[in-house]
Structure 1
Amino acid sequence: MSTRVALKRLDAFAILSFLIPLFLYLLTLAPSVTFFDSGEFITATASLGASHSPGYPLFINYAKPFTWLPFGSIAFRVNLATAISAALACYGVYLLVTHLLKDEEIPGNFFRTARGFTGLCAAVTFAGTSRLWLQSNHDKPYPLLAFICAVVYYLMLLWRDSYDRGEECPAYVYLGAFLCGLGTGAHQIMVLMIPVYGWLIVSKNWRILFRVKEFVIALAFGILGFGIHLHLIVRATQRPLLNWGDPQTLSQFLWTLLRKGYPTVKPDRDLALLWDQVNALNVPREFTVVGLALLLIGLMSFAKRQRDAVLSYLIGLASFLLVIVGYFNTGREFIFLTEEFFTPLYLLSAVFIALGTFHLVQELAARLPAAWAEKRPLCRTLLSLLMVLPVSVCLLHYQENDQHENYVAFDYASNVLKSLPEGTALYTWGDSGAFPLWYIQGVERMREDLDLLHTPHLVFKWYLDSFPELFKNSRLRTIPPGQIAPEDAVMLSASEMMDKRPVYIDFSTRYSVEFTHYQPHQNGICYQLLPASQPLAPPPTDLWQIYTLRGVLGDDLFFRDLDTGTAIRIYAAAHLEAGETLLKMGYPQGIVELAAAQRIQPDLAKQIDQLRTTYGVR
């Protein structure tokens, strides 16, 4: 009997608000490493090390247990961890919606399920946004951060309820403060939510600001949560596989935490740039125009009933825009990187979209005849219309986020490593060109005879220390910090390596550095650095036979992000360059290379026709 009672108490809507998003994410989950920060996050997680600044210790420790699963690659397991955290964030939407609507009345017995059904629709709508979906099917810390933000918001609502009952429970605030500190270990934008939580507290009674004892206790709990960053120091002493910044000293810890390794020169901002920066937060793109309309309805209709909650959303909006747009002032080419910072704000947007939806259901139910409100078929039909928005959002963003066959980054890294001779020193430039290589070599143990050297890091002593034998006597160690550019560092380092081993550069380095004293000899999608005086042999064409090109040819890969598309264009550009070089040297195989370039990137047809005309070939 007790089992039946327990089953009846299960909230089916709550369970579905987690399971439906999880199903979507598993359906589109990337099977291996992807581009951007993926390879780096996975390598740091596998070795319990430190990722790029500010280190992301919470995400790394959260995802680490998933690497012990007995199926799939390490990359797949970490991707699975992210999918689960994203589904939890969607459940967080449901939790907030149902709590904010707990006192709302609606005519008709059947319409009482509208509260849970609205929360479920909001959770699925948030799940289908391109921003969350893109972060959910491969390793990203932002879904975990969004879930923590939702939990802290929920705790503040519980505290407000206890205050209204005259049974104030400060433990909710203390736990929320701890989670805020802990959340900074997922990303530092957690601090942008503090004004939101602060308003939910202070709006009850501004005199709370003068409770020094409770403030100190809450601060102590926040510092305790922030202690997750001690992971960076402790693990740095163990020299993990990925140890970004080597934060085992106070100076290096602060260097990592405060993101001192990134450029600080800000662009001159005009109105066009400001508009582009503001549009990094784009509710219509994520939730459609209908979602934007429901958001506005929710804010206006609940401005009196849930005034402080509405104001907290507006405070969050101001906090995020003032810091991310006003302070960061990101250049136009990097604005896309700031889009994911708004994930917690999109979560709150989904909550108020649900409130707007519920308001419309209330208005409809109030206008129905009392007898009609009790008719189950009619009510079910009306409630089913609520699914139009979540289904539309999911269908709209499904194809662009379907990564279940995305092996492009894995194959790209494997092809690079397969094409290099034994003992090669390979210099990389862009993060997306380097990070998959780190994962393939460091975690999957492929081609451990190679040294993968990331050119932008050659200017940092901590990076040179990670290759103690390689840079033991390098002249790079004698140059003061900040006195050498990466372009000069790679030239100096390559000159020291040249007589000892093969020196190669990747495609990105080839077109980022001007090699005045050396000539790059093409070798597939990599280049060997040779003395400028040495005659060049024709580029080899047999390498392409050992390359794996899943998702590169044809339209079998739906997913296309910036760097996946770039990788595909690199293959085409490499074929094009090889074809032109071969034709210039009088080798007819160049025709085949040009044809291969056009198969990969059809929009090169005009350029390829011009080359055929230039060299007099069909």
Structure 2
Amino acid sequence: MDHKTVHRGIAVTLFLLAEAVYLMTMAPTLSFWDCGEFIATSYTLGVPHPPGAPLFLLVGRLFSMVPFFEDIGARVNLLSTLSASATVMLTYLIIFQLITVYRKSDPRSWDDSGRLSAYGAALVGALALAFSDSFWFNAVETEVYAPSLFFTALVVWFILRWFGEESQEGNERWLMAAMYVIGLSIGVHLLSLLAIFAVIMVYYYKKYEVTVASFLVMAVAASGAFLLVYIGIIKGVPILMQQASWWGIAILLGGIVYVVYVAHIRKYRLLHTLSMSLLLLIVGYTSYALIYVRANASPSINENNPSTGEAFFAYLNREQYGELPLWPRRWSEEPIHRYFYQQYENDLDYFFRYQLSHMYLRYFGWQFIGREGDSDGTDIERADIDWTQLWALPFLVGVFGMFSHFHRDWKMGSVVTALFILTGAALVIYLNQVEPQPRERDYSYTGSFFAFAIWIGIGAENLIRLVRNIAADAQERNILSIVTLGALLLVVDGRMLYANYAVHDRSGNYVPWDWAWNMLQSCEKDAILFTNGDNDTFPLWYLQEVEGIRTDVRVVNLSLANTGWYLDQLKNTSPHGAKKIAFSLSDEELKGISFVPVQPVEVELPAGSEKEALIGEYRSADLDVPEGVVDTLRWQIEPTIIYRGRGFLRPQDFAVYQILMNNYAKRPIYFAITVGRDNLLGIDNYLRLDGLAYKVVPVESSEERVFVGTPKLWTNLCSVFRYRNLDNPDVFIEETSFRLSKNYKPLFSSLAAALAEEPGREINVRQSDGKTRRATGKELALEALDTSQEMLPLERFKMDPGIAASVVSLYVSLGEKDKTDRYIVYLERLAGATALREDPQLHYILALALREVGRTGESAAILDKLFKEIDESKIELPNQ
């Protein structure tokens, strides 16, 4: 078989292998963070958060229409799997091409061992990327990062094709194709822009003699080209449109077309290549017209509403987020409340210890050394590098490859180095990420990991070469090449596959879908639901926009409520027929909303018909009306921001006030349980726990104890909510899903505690079949505790020790002491792993739980030891 057939066959086989792995591990529906938003805006061609991803939305819309899967989210997830698989294939082709370049010979002239080592080494490097932590994570969910890296790899592949065919007629088509791809990639993500440096470096090495002066000129030219694209086109074209409307764009394109024409007629080859590349780049960038066009169509999701030139310009420039300077590096995220983090000595210390080490080098180590984690899905606050996972073999092979590359071809070695640094350490400087971040940001650096995977392939080729050179004849060389290649595939790629498969297998993980369903079902008809961030908003958008579930609930995202355009939409639009939200402010006042100076003030909110509705709800459940029912809700609003001695309300706080005052008693109002207390505007004492949301009710409760809506909460937790596969140990639950799922068990405990207060009282509750059932508080409390254990096994979903002890107390009080065993064992295991001096409260809780089940001797022994330690070391016993 000839070289071309074998080479292409390996590339296609590699694509199919990677795609098979990704399909087996792909999320069956939406995932958390931006995935729900991207699927929803792809399906509806809406406008996502700035700066948007119009080309991604267009392709995503196409995938959403093809019935590969029943679930729309899974259809769009397929876009990521195919993009990632194509990137893996391109990585193989790139590594092979780089090997060809430094061997300086046609692959058809190589002997069998030489071809085998090149094919195999490229395979090793490509599979290292395929099975790396962050790349695999991006490959199995709907995000822009897999398609973005595909475009980056495609640019690198095109420039290498030009390099190999530079002497052939018409080779400029590869340069032009690379620039067109960069233009297209802007409509997905800006990562591919950094490949401009690699393009210009390859062009320079091929066309010019390398001297110090010429190299400096090249570096300036590369930087100028990058700035031309980033500032002149990405930022400049919107300015041109803002100042001169679409006619300005037409004139610009017409001018470039004229230059292309003149260069073609007069055979100015370089000018023609440059002008045509610029034209194609701008043509690729025109995918952004989709954002403007769709914004004017007023889709349900229309973030920033970029329907005018000015708004479109602000959208593309991400003005909503503000702009952090590159120096100093330690601003906080709060725009009116900036301060320095004191745990760092200075800005350089902050950069090296947090931004470079924690936010890049740690991620790099995850890919090629190993990531600390738990295959059972236990969430950890900070995953460090774990050398036992991959034994650092991919890292060592890559480092060897880096040195080998420079030794054999320093020019191409420097190109890969530029790509590695610009998409890694240099990107750290540009991003200037503040501490703390709400999530891990490893996905930002997959371009750097891609570059290092190239070196893994080159390192593998040079290792095989060193080993086969020991052989005395061709047959021995072939045998040694095969053995070495097999060993590399096993200990590098095989180990990465084995170590990472379980924790990247999303199959069966329906937590995001179920979380959104459960939150929406927590609300009554036509409710207003305040949410906090991405994970309690975007999944809800997905269910409403894509699947048409509970479109009557109006979701109000508090982060977006800091913007006037969003409040204007809440007031004046009715997505899917949902009711508009009433405001007393005019449209202009809403659009200009800002920080509001305020002193602590008492406010009153009449309960109106909400009081009668509450009384009727409890009577229908045959329950006593709760104590504390009021005709008017009264509470004090405090400033949420203190700046230079003055108190302010954030725009979101004022929006909450406006919505409460103008909509309460007309429609139910809820806060998601993920909304922090500092976002509740002081109305804490009028909230009732109904599920994954608190309802604002005219019942004043104490601060010490949450007010539980027992009939509603029991119905939601035990009849309505979905917990698919949370009890299945064969289904991996990744960290975000696991962390949010831990919210369920405290809800069950609070419900059981409330029901146990009146164990003999009969209550009417609704079952999953829709029928009403009458049962005692004791029966329902036991069912709640049992359901909690059944759906969320303690062995998997660890509990706070105090909550576990309360469950022990509840079971005992309800006459089911035998069911406490697993909780006692759980507490004993926690205490056994923790020294008494480290956590005296844990041992105290265990002692109380043991006393509850009648093991008074063991309880007394722990307490004696505890009080002795307290007396000796002056440890202060935590309050109970």
Q: TM-score, normalization: structure 1?
A: 0.90
Equivalents in 2 of 1:476, 1:595: separation in Å? 52
Q: Does the Cα contact within 8 Å between 1:572 and 1:600 map onto a contact in 2?
A: no
Q: Does the Cα contact within 8 Å between 1:422 and 1:450 map onto a contact in 2?
A: yes
User: 1:72: which partner in 2?
Assistant: 70
> Given the alignment, which residue of 69, 82, 85 partners 1:84?
82
Q: Does the Cα contact within 8 Å between 1:125 and 1:391 map onto a contact in 2?
A: no
Q: Which amino acid aligns with 1:180?
A: I
Identity among equivalent pairs (%): 21
Q: Secondary structure at the match of 2:653?
A: helix
Structure 1 residue 279: Cα displacement? 2.3
> Given the alignment, which residue of 503, 521, 524 partners 2:688?
521
Equivalents in 1 of 2:472, 2:204: separation in Å? 43
Distance 1:283 1:170, change over 3 A: farther
Matches within 5 A, 1:193-204: 193-204=195-206
> Given the alignment, which residue of 496, 501, 504 partners 2:670?
504
Q: Which amino acid aligns with 1:57?
A: P
User: 1:117: which partner in 2?
Assistant: 120
Matches within 5 A, 1:161-560: 161-163=164-166, 165=167, 169-204=171-206, 205=208, 206=214, 214-262=273-321, 264=323, 266-267=331-332, 268=340, 269=347, 270=350, 271-274=352-355, 275-279=357-361, 281-283=363-365, 285-286=367-368, 288=390, 289-321=392-424, 323-334=426-437, 336-373=439-476, 379-388=481-490, 389-467=492-570, 468-469=572-573, 470-471=580-581, 473-475=583-585, 477=587, 478-479=589-590, 480-483=592-595, 484-509=650-675, 511=677, 513-517=679-683, 519-531=686-698, 533=700, 538-540=709-711, 541-544=714-717, 545-553=719-727, 555-560=729-734
Q: Which amino acid aligns with 1:383?
A: L
Equivalents in 1 of 2:542, 2:709: separation in Å? 32
Structure 1 residue 203: Cα displacement? 3.3
Structure 1 residue 96: Cα displacement? 0.2
Q: Which amino acid aligns with 1:131?
A: S
Distance 1:178 1:406, change over 3 A: same
What do residues 405-463 of structure 1 show as CA deviations (whole Å, max 9, x unaligned)?
Answer: 01011111112222322221222112111111111111111122222222221232322
Structure 1 residue 329: Cα displacement? 2.0
What do residues 282-305 of structure 1 show as CA deviations (whole Å, max 9, x unaligned)?
Answer: 145346411111111111112143
Q: Does the Cα contact within 8 Å between 2:420 and 2:452 map onto a contact in 1?
A: no
What do residues 224-266 of structure 1 show as CA deviations (whole Å, max 9, x unaligned)?
Answer: 2211111111111122232222222222222222222226563
Q: Does the Cα contact within 8 Å between 1:141 and 1:187 map onto a contact in 2?
A: yes
Equivalents in 2 of 1:322, 1:113: separation in Å? 34
Moved more, 70-79 or 322-331: 322-331
User: 1:27: which partner in 2?
Assistant: 24
Equivalents in 2 of 1:257, 1:450: separation in Å? 30
Equivalents in 1 of 2:747, 2:299: separation in Å? 35
Distance 1:313 1:466, change over 3 A: same
Distance 1:94 1:357, change over 3 A: same
Moved more, 71-80 or 414-423: 414-423
Q: Does the Cα contact within 8 Å between 1:476 and 1:492 map onto a contact in 2?
A: no
What do residues 278-334 of structure 1 show as CA deviations (whole Å, max 9, x unaligned)?
Answer: 325414534641111111111111214332221122222332345532232213332
Moved more, 596-605 or 306-315: 596-605
Moved more, 141-150 or 304-313: 304-313
Distance 1:26 1:156, change over 3 A: same
Q: Does the Cα contact within 8 Å between 1:284 and 1:292 map onto a contact in 2?
A: no
Moved more, 446-455 or 330-339: 330-339
Q: Does the Cα contact within 8 Å between 2:202 and 2:412 map onto a contact in 1?
A: yes
Equivalents in 2 of 1:308, 1:8: separation in Å? 29
Moved more, 185-194 or 385-394: 185-194
Structure 1 residue 502: Cα displacement? 1.0
Q: Which amino acid aligns with 1:285?
A: Q
Aligned-pair Cα RMSD in Å: 3.0
Distance 1:78 1:513, change over 3 A: same
Higher RCO (C-alpha 8 Å, min separation 6): 1
Equivalents in 1 of 2:4, 2:125: separation in Å? 24
What do residues 52-92 of structure 1 show as CA deviations (whole Å, max 9, x unaligned)?
Answer: 12111121112221112123211010011111111011011
Q: Secondary structure at the match of 1:475?
A: coil
Q: Does the Cα contact within 8 Å between 1:145 and 1:183 map onto a contact in 2?
A: yes
Q: Does the Cα contact within 8 Å between 1:37 and 1:431 map onto a contact in 2?
A: yes
Q: Secondary structure at the match of 2:555?
A: strand
Equivalents in 1 of 2:2, 2:205: separation in Å? 39
Structure 1 residue 360: Cα displacement? 0.9
What do residues 340-380 of structure 1 show as CA deviations (whole Å, max 9, x unaligned)?
Answer: 1111221121111101100111111211121433666x654
Distance 1:305 1:110, change over 3 A: closer
Equivalents in 2 of 1:472, 1:128: separation in Å? 51
Equivalents in 1 of 2:804, 2:568: separation in Å? 50
Distance 1:447 1:328, change over 3 A: same
Distance 1:528 1:595, change over 3 A: same
Q: Does the Cα contact within 8 Å between 2:27 and 2:506 map onto a contact in 1?
A: yes
Equivalents in 2 of 1:512, 1:566: separation in Å? 21
Distance 1:295 1:582, change over 3 A: same
Q: Secondary structure at the match of 1:447?
A: coil
Structure 1 residue 212: Cα displacement? 6.0
Equivalents in 1 of 2:193, 2:586: separation in Å? 38
Equivalents in 2 of 1:427, 1:538: separation in Å? 19
Q: Secondary structure at the match of 1:509?
A: coil
Q: Which amino acid aligns with 2:297?
A: Q
Moved more, 576-585 or 192-201: 576-585
What do residues 550-597 of structure 1 show as CA deviations (whole Å, max 9, x unaligned)?
Answer: 132353431312x20222112123223334555578865556656665
Q: Does the Cα contact within 8 Å between 1:521 and 1:539 map onto a contact in 2?
A: no
Rg larger in 1 or in 2? 2
Q: TM-score, normalization: structure 2?
A: 0.65
Q: Which amino acid aligns with 2:22?
A: Y
What do residues 376-416 of structure 1 show as CA deviations (whole Å, max 9, x unaligned)?
Answer: 6x654443223111111111111111001010111111122
Equivalents in 2 of 1:17, 1:428: separation in Å? 43
User: 2:241: which partner in 1?
Assistant: none
Distance 1:556 1:281, change over 3 A: closer
Distance 1:89 1:8, change over 3 A: closer
Moved more, 329-338 or 583-592: 583-592
Structure 1 residue 276: Cα displacement? 1.2
Q: Which amino acid aligns with 2:175?
A: V
Equivalents in 2 of 1:273, 1:280: separation in Å? 10
Equivalents in 2 of 1:153, 1:455: separation in Å? 42
Equivalents in 2 of 1:375, 1:39: separation in Å? 51
Q: Does the Cα contact within 8 Å between 1:107 and 1:373 map onto a contact in 2?
A: no
